[in-house]
Chain A
Amino acid sequence: MTEKRFLVYGGVAALLAVCPLFLNAYWTDVLNSIGLYAALGLSLNLIVGHAGLFNLGHAAFYAVGAYTAAILNTKFHIPILALMPLCGLTAGLFALLIARPIIHLRGDYLCIVTIGVGEIVRIALINNVFGITGGANGIFGIARPSLMGWVIRRPQEFFYLIWAFVALTVFLFHRLENSRFGRALNYLREDETAAEGSGIDTAHYKLMAFVLGAAWAGMVGNIYAAKMTIIAPESFSFWESVVMFTLIILGGSGSIPGVLLGAFLIVGLPEVFRGFTNARMMVFGAAMIAMMIFRTGGILPARPRRYELLKEEAAEEST
């Protein structure tokens, strides 16, 4: 079973890896967008899918990462990819600061507050807060990233950078899911009182879900800034948060393959059906409503974890 999953992952990865050789720059760029949203979706999935905390302001953390990268790169000429850990750190710290006072709020209330946080960040960026965000025009002239002297410039090159990051994220988050930390997030999603009553520091884990999810979004922000070379507050609007949220729910909340598929559908399909102009959004919306009615766990819902030791014990029992 796990071998089968390995084959599926390997097959999809191999197929993706050769895509830039056949696709033109436009379609490669669509795949790049999908990759960025996949990484963002995976980071938000920790908060929404695993911990069950409704966060509709994830774009704020994405923005903090992107602006950290842009400001430090344009002002101090630090190579942008070297700033990636710092972008994660600033976004994570920002999340810690923001989430601490609001984390005890339940469901819908938390959701509304996160929308507010997202808007505050966007408007603060437009208003050129501290005089360093460049206002509504944003920041331009971000240097091209380079890896060991090789400057990343074309979409085909960014493709490998972005998808390598997605692959790393999948690998690390898969391990995280199958750990004490991952389980703790699920417990508090299922029943917070029971989790606390079983000895889990629920306040701590809620906060850590936020911080880790935000830090990851901050690192994606770094890649986004490097790819665009210009960033502006528009890129971090409420709509971005909605897209990240929707792709998780559609693909499969708490499921890594689900989130990846969700990114392909939400970001990719509108491009495929571009010819149908306005009708595409209507069909798309109807499809989403149908999904939510008939398949509430998402297209690829989270599957129960597997535990190795049990196979041995089951074998012992049968003998």
Chain B
Amino acid sequence: MSLLSLRRVTKSFGGLTAVHSVSFEVDSGTIVGLIGPNGAGKTTVFNLITGIYRPDQGEILFNNTSLLRLPTHRIIALGIGRTFQTIRLFQNLTVLENVLAGCHCRMRCGAVSAMLGLARHRKEEKKAIEQAMNALAFVGLEKSALQQAKNLSYGNQRLLEVARALATEPKLLILDEPAGGMNEQETAALIDLIRKIQEQGVTVLLIEHDMNLVMRVCEKIVVLEYGSKIAEGSPPEIKANPRVIEAYLGTEED
């Protein structure tokens, strides 16, 4: 069953068509990769899914619900967690607080119950901290919980973004270049982590330039070039696809 489906989605910025009539499906429980040369429109697709941009045309369905009119935070609450290509942590807050941001949409207590110190509020707070610590332990950052986010290494900051996204309890996790800036060992650990996330029943959609990672973890790959989908299939199919090879290596006349 498809969890997420994009149907002929188009988005232009001024005269530039960043995404042109792109359609693809993400089946529940799978790991799907979105690849393409720089400027192919991959991140734009992610921003369209999460409601940061609105498509000019087309339809985006998540669990058979249209995402087109929903604000970003509602889309997250529906069960789509995301990370950012350029790391966007709350740098001056602690690692734990960063993850608590993800717990936010699963909590209910507001300003009044906090000011009155209601038992309901204290209980919810305690539970959220527990969940946040679990998410941190899942990515292996529980020992850094009280550090400021900006003091983490680059690779760990990426992991913290993943933990924050996992804390929203997503059905679909979308990762924008999760291995960006990671060394080989960190990337190997990331591959294990992505598989572990899948084992938890979370569907994963990822953008990645590290072809080794993409070919190893993804069951299906969607290739974009100049905003259009040029190929879709399993890793071996994509490796053998002449259009993909052309897009990445250029034609012989070049």
Does B100 count as interface, using CB distance less than 8 angstroms? yes
- Which residues in window 272-319 of A have CB below 8 A to B? 304-305, 307-310, 313, 317
Take A186-B97, A198-B101, A198-B102 as given contacts and tell me if A175 and B114 are in contact as well, using a CB distance cutoff of 8 Å: yes
- Chain B minimum-CB-distance residue to A201: B73
Docked pose: A76 CA to B50 CA in angstroms: 54
Contact A183 B104 (CB under 8 A): yes
A212→B90 contact, CB < 8 A: no
B237 cross-chain contacts in A, Cβ below 8 A: none
Contacts of A172 in B (CB 8 A): 115
A181-202 residues with Cβ-Cβ distance < 8 A to B are 181-184, 186-187, 190-191, 193-202
A193 close to B52 (CB less than 8 A): yes
Alpha-carbon gap, A305 to B128, bound state (A): 15
Chain B residues in 8 Å Cβ range of A310: 96, 129, 133, 145-146
Which residues of chain A have C-beta atoms less than 8 A from B92's C-beta?
Answer: 190
Is chain B's binding surface mostly helix, strand, loop or mixed? helix
B71 at the interface (CB under 8 A from A): yes
Chain B residue with the shortest CB-CB distance to A208: B111
A4 at the interface (CB under 8 A from B): no
Query: Across the interface, which residues of A come within 8 angstroms of B142, CB to CB?
Result: 313
Residues of A within 8 A of B96 (CB): 307, 310
Q: How far is the CA of A180 from the CA of B104 in the complex (A)?
A: 7
A280–chain B nearest beta-carbon distance, Å = 35
The answer to whether B50 and A197 have CB atoms under 8 Å apart is yes
Contact assessment for A179 and B100 in the assembled complex, using a CB-CB cutoff below 8 Å: no
Nearest-neighbour CB distance to chain B for A170, whole angstroms, equals: 12
Contact of B76 among A191, A197, A208 (CB under 8 A): A197
B interface residues with partner A (beta carbon < 8 Å): 50, 52, 71-73, 76-77, 82, 84, 88-94, 96-97, 100-102, 104-105, 107, 109-111, 114-115, 117, 121, 124-126, 128-130, 133, 142-143, 145-146, 148, 164-165, 168
Closest 9 CB pairs of A and B: A199-B105, A179-B114, A199-B76, A190-B90, A194-B88, A198-B101, A181-B111, A172-B115, A196-B72
User: Apart from A175-B114, A184-B104, A200-B73, what are 16 other A-B pairs with CB-CB below 8 Å?
Assistant: A175-B117, A179-B111, A184-B101, A187-B90, A190-B91, A190-B93, A194-B90, A194-B101, A196-B71, A197-B84, A198-B105, A198-B164, A200-B104, A201-B73, A304-B146, A313-B142
- What are 15 A-B pairs with beta-carbon distances under 8 A? A179-B111, A180-B124, A182-B114, A183-B97, A184-B101, A193-B84, A196-B72, A197-B52, A198-B102, A198-B168, A200-B104, A202-B73, A208-B111, A309-B130, A310-B129
